[in-house]
Structure 1
Amino acid sequence: MYFWEILGWMLWATVFIGYLFALFAIIGDLFRDRGLSGWWKALWVIFLVFLPFLTALVYLVARGQGMAARSSTAAREAEDAAQSYIRDVAGKTPAEEIAAAAALREAGTISTEEFEQLKAKALS
């Protein structure tokens, strides 16, 4: 009997945690959706508070397709922002650094020895 009580408790805990994941996904989607007015967002949140399971089910059925599209768009935008940040932080490629140093040498700004040092540093 004790084993079945623990198993039942674990089942309900899993269902509750799954519901919390769905709830957070729904709330995140509500505030990510720019096409939905603030009043509709407030109405969805009020229904989520007072009729949580039914509202979550209706939301997932009614707006699930758009929810997936908005999530995909947000993930793509986050990936693009991360890649842009990495490119900005990483700086120039070694070939670009050598080309810039060669342009400085040709302009007479740096000597041949300084060019060789910059080239060695870029290739290391």
Structure 2
Amino acid sequence: TTATITAVSAFAAWGAFLFMMSVYLQSERGFSAMHTGLIYLPIAVGALLFSPLSGRLVGRFGARPSLVTAGVLITAAASMLTFLAATTPVWQLLVVFAVFGIGFSMVNAPITNAAVSGMPLDR
């Protein structure tokens, strides 16, 4: 149940982040949907590079270190979001998005591992 609660929390944060950043970028900054999508690229790159690392960390050290790292990175990215303004340079947005993408990429492998580790072997 803890793994399920953690997964729901992480994915809720992910959805809220994507929604609110889309609103911010398009309404506050006046970016097009295409420009907004391009600014999201650091999220994908961070996830692409760090998801395999998360899987290896879980295999070697268990779920806890990867989840702690994810929590720290997502919290850091959320803290950085508090300083956003209409004049925030795009490079700062890219850094925040990369940190959030890396943090979120560290969630999936340990959550999946924790969720299925308590199941009987025949399932």
Output the TM-score relative to the length of structure 1: 0.33
Larger radius of gyration between Structure 1 and Structure 2 = 1
Name the structure where helix makes up a greater proportion of residues: 1
Output the TM-score relative to the length of structure 2: 0.33
